[in-house]
Structures are given as C-alpha cells and as structure tokens.
Amino acid sequence: MAQGIVLNNEELRTDLNWLNQQGVIQISTSTWPLSGDEIERALNHAKVLNNTQQKVIDSVKAVLNKENTAVKFDLSIASDQAYSPQQFGTNAKAQYVAGVELNAGQAHWDARLKVNAEKDQVIDHGHDINIEGSYIAGKLRNQWLIAGQIPTYWGPGYEGSLIRGDASRPVYGLTMQRAEQKAFETKWLSWIGDWQYQIFAGQLDNYEAIPNAKLLGLRLTMQPRPYLEIGASRILQWGGDGKDESLSGLWEAIKGNDNFDDRALDKSNQLAGIDIKLNLKHLIDLPLGIYGQLIGEDEAGYLPSRKFYLLGVDYSSELGKLPFQLYLELADTRTNREVWGYTYSHGDYKDGYYQHGFPLGHSLGGDSEMYSIGGNIRIDLINRLSGRALFATVNQSNLSINEAFPNKDEIKALDLTWTHYLKPTLPLEIKAWVSDSDLHGRDTGASVGIEIPLDSTLFKH
C-alpha cells in the first residue's frame, strides 16, 4: 500500500484530519508532501471504534491505492477560470489539461514522471508542455531526498498557507525530510514527541527582476503533547544574477545579517514565523481543532517585525453515520493589519514573493483579507461532497506584481465539488462555482476532471 512520496491531496488531508480529530490516529498533516511511510505507520496504530471511522480508514487506503497506480491518464476541462482564491491541493493552472503519469518505486526509492499538456493557461509560464508533479526520490536511514518539481505546503490552514502554499506553479528543487515522524528514543529529547523537518532548495522560474533567484526554506514541526502541534518555518529568496552567492553571503543571510537600507548589502528577502494547532479531542473529548499561523517579514531583534495572520477552527463528526467536517478560517495578509504594500514585496527582489505573478505564500497575495466557511461530507466510499463560501478583499495596495488579483477588489464566492469513484482507482470530479466581483461582476462556471488508471501492477507495491 505504501506510496513513497504523497503529493498535495485535499481529499486525503481531509480524511487524515478527520481521523486525527476523532482520536483514531495521530499524524501531522501540516507539511507537504507527506511520506507514505508515516501514513502507513499512523494507520497501523489506528484505534478504530466504529464503522464510520473504518469507512474513513478505507477511504484513505483507496486514495493511496489510486496514487499507487503505475500508469495514469488524467483530463481536466473547465468552462473558464474561477475568479476566487485557490485552496490547498487545487491544480487549476490551465483551463484544459491532459496528462500522462508514470509511477515506479520500491522500499527505498520512488519516482514519478508526469507530462502535462495545457491550453488557455491560468498561470502562463511560456510552455504548453510541462513536467510539474515529477520527481525522483531515495530513502536512507529514515530520510527522503527528493529532486523534482513538486508542490510544497507549510501550515494548518485549509484555504492557504501564509509562508509556503501551492497556488503558484511548483518550484524546481531538492527537498529533504523524514520518512517516519516518530519521536526520539532518548529521554532527553523524547519530550518533543513526533517531529518532522523539511529542507528545500530550488530556483525560481522566469523571475525577471533577478534572473536565477533561489528559494531556500526550512520547516520544523513537533508534537510535544497529543493535543498540540507546533510548527516553525523560514523562507529566503536569495542569490540570482548580480547577487552574492558565496557561502559566506548565504551564512550571513541565514543568520539574519542582511536587513539594511543599502540595497547592495541586502542579501535576501526573508519570511519566518510559527503555526500552532490544538486538538481538543485529547483535552475535553470534543472533535474540535483550533489553529493559527503568524508570519512576518523583515527583522528586528532577530524576530520578524512586519506580521500577518491566519486563524481557524475545524470540527469533525458524523451525521447519521456519514462523516463530515466543517471549518471557519480568517486570513489577513496586510502588514500589522495595515495596508502598506509590504507583504510579499521587496525593494530588491522586485517581482516579490511570487512566481509567474502568482503568490508562493497564500493564494490571496499581499494586502488581502478573506473570511471563509467550508466543509465536506462523505456519503460512502465512492461519493463525497465538499464546498465553501468566502468573502475576500484582495490586493488593497493595488500592486501589479500580484497577477492573480492585480487590482483592489471585493469577491464573494461559492463553490461545490462532487467526487465520485467510478472504480476504486477511477475518480470523477465535478465542480461548479459562482462568484461576484466588484470589478468583474457575476461569474458562474464548472469543471470536470477524471483520472484513468492504465496499469496497476508495474513495480509499485
């Protein structure tokens, strides 16, 4: 069943979070990609008490089996671009997409080649063919090293992450992380609980302000108590043509000694912060989670000084033996709750914290606010309904570097998604939406996506 590397998957994360909040398993879902070894470890220690919980366990296994398929063909067709912020796991990079995916792997290696053909691109990067979602990975002593172009996500939010989201196209690079998140065995460090790290180093594509600019990141999570997860993240835009790319310059940037008024001395654009999630199931037997994320730019006293925020609650239960989940979320990417044109922008890296004009952090981009409510209900193993409603005020500073929302606007949107498995490894997804924008008026649309397995036996186990 084990898939070596599990890429961003909204359905899978929803089910794992539901099982977390029911007290069935304990696994961190705030750092993506996940390791299949960790998911398998969590399922092997699952404490299933009823048929509803077993239904969700079976759903997780079905998703992993689908991801384990050796050869897949996928097709996605949309009536137009949905004019609303993207969620975790949304792959709306073009209006028409056809792809072929090849998977292979064993216990200590994993590889995926995904070739995508796109038409009418939402995120234009100058190519109709790409290999986004492709990687090769090797495992040694519980450490995965991954090379490729894969999405990354850091944080507990359902709608987005303030520091490292997946609304832009994936960044080419290297990723290193643990295969299993199990705690240290020594008594001096065992109090940290289950923990994970992720190190990333890559190069931004078509970053015109400073060609060949690099993206470096480090994230660390720990669960010192069953009810508490703490994450710390840090990102650097560093180097590129005309910039100091020496090891000493990198070390100064890592230490934070690069926040100067003189642009020639400013070695990087940095973001850092923390996120926290409380699972009240382990405190008061209530399947409710409370989570938050605080990220800042700039440095004062070695801590971020220009801050922005994300807060949310989620609830996982069942209705007539049908598992469901609800969440409420607030994201505010203004600087200290003021519109300064500062968040995700930089005086030297003038294209900002964006790639191809789409944010590397939250899908809103800078100087935006969003209130959202969403959820899902799993009718059975082959049918699931999900949806959300949101109100957002985007790009209040009118910065053109945010091509997702290039002007100040107010957006109200509602979308619904039905996922139906024609076969255990053959999902059909139908999505419909309606939005209303001050600038663009009312819009309705729909999309259809399907994944067709062509072979389920080659190499994979």
Residue 233 CA to its chain's centroid (Å): 14
pLDDT reported for residue 226? 92
The answer on pLDDT for 21 being more than 90 is yes
pTM of structure: 0.93
Q: Which of 85-89, 158-162, 453-457 has the highest mean pLDDT?
A: 158-162
Between 89 and 461, the higher pLDDT residue: 89
pLDDT reported for residue 261? 55
- Residue 277 has, within 13 A of its CA and on its CB side, a CA count of 29
The answer on pLDDT for 108 being more than 80 is yes
Binned at pLDDT 50, 70 and 90, residue 461 comes out as very low
Between 301 and 232, the higher pLDDT residue: 232
Q: Give the chain's largest Cα–Cα span.
A: 63
281 φ, ψ (degrees, to nearest 5): -60, -35
pLDDT reported for residue 457? 43
29 φ, ψ (degrees, to nearest 5): -120, 25
Cα–Cα distance for residue pair 412/388, rounded to 1 Å: 11
- Residue with tokens 């663009």, as numbered in its chain: 440
Cα–Cα distance for residue pair 236/392, rounded to 1 Å: 28
Q: Render pLDDT for 167-221 as a digit per residue (tens, 0 to 9).
A: 999 999 999 999 999 999 988 999 999 999 999 999 999 999 999 999 999 999 9
Q: Give the lowest-confidence range in 209-223, 249-263, 393-407, 414-428.
A: 249-263
**In terms of Cα–Cα distance, which of 460, 310, 308, 277 is closest to 396?**
308
The answer on pLDDT for 360 being more than 60 is yes
Work out the angle at residue 43's Cα, subtended by the Cα atoms of residues 163 and 155, and round it to the nearest 5 degrees. Answer: 10
Cα–Cα distance for residue pair 16/69, rounded to 1 Å: 20
Q: Render pLDDT for 324-353 as a digit per residue (tens, 0 to 9).
A: 999 999 999 999 999 999 999 998 899 999
pLDDT reported for residue 404? 92
Which token pair is 141? 């002593």
Cα–Cα distance for residue pair 435/73, rounded to 1 Å: 31
Please give the torsion angle defined by the CA atoms of residues 339, 340, 343 and 345, in that order, rounded to the nearest 10 degrees: 140
Cα–Cα distance for residue pair 365/406, rounded to 1 Å: 10
- Residue 81 has, within 13 A of its CA and on its CB side, a CA count of 15
Crossing angle of helices 36-44 and 10-21, rounded to 10° = 30
Owning domain of residue 157:
5-257+265-458
Number of domains in the chain: 1
pLDDT reported for residue 266? 64
The three-state DSSP-derived secondary structure of the chain is CCCCEECCCHHHHHHHHHHHHCCCCCCCCCEECEEHHHHHHHHHCCCCCCHHHHHHHHHHHHHHHHHCCCEEEEEEEECCCCCCCCCCCCCCCEEEEEEEEEEEEECCEEEEEEEEEEEEECCCCCCCEECCCCEEEEEECCEEEEEEECCCEECCCCCCCCCECCCCCCCEEEEEEECCCCCCCCCCCHHHEEEEEEEEEEECCCCCCCCCCEEEEEEEEEEEECCEEEEEEEEEEECCCCCCCCHHHHHHHHHCCCCCCCCCCCCEEEEEEEEEEEECHHHHCCCEEEEEEEEEECCECCECCEEEEEEEEEEEEEECCEEEEEEEEEEECCECCECCCCCCCCCCCCCCCEECCEECCCCCCCCCEEEEEEEEEEEECCEEEEEEEEEEEECCCCCCCCCCCCCCEEEEEEEEEEEEEEECCEEEEEEEEEEEECCCEEEEEEEEEEEEEEECCCCCC
- Domain of 204, CATH number, reads 2.40.160.130
- Residue with tokens 């971020």, as numbered in its chain: 304
Q: Render pLDDT for 244-263 as a digit per residue (tens, 0 to 9).
A: 888 888 888 887 766 555 55
Is residue 98 a contact partner of residue 116, using CB atoms and an 8 Å limit? yes
pLDDT reported for residue 256? 73
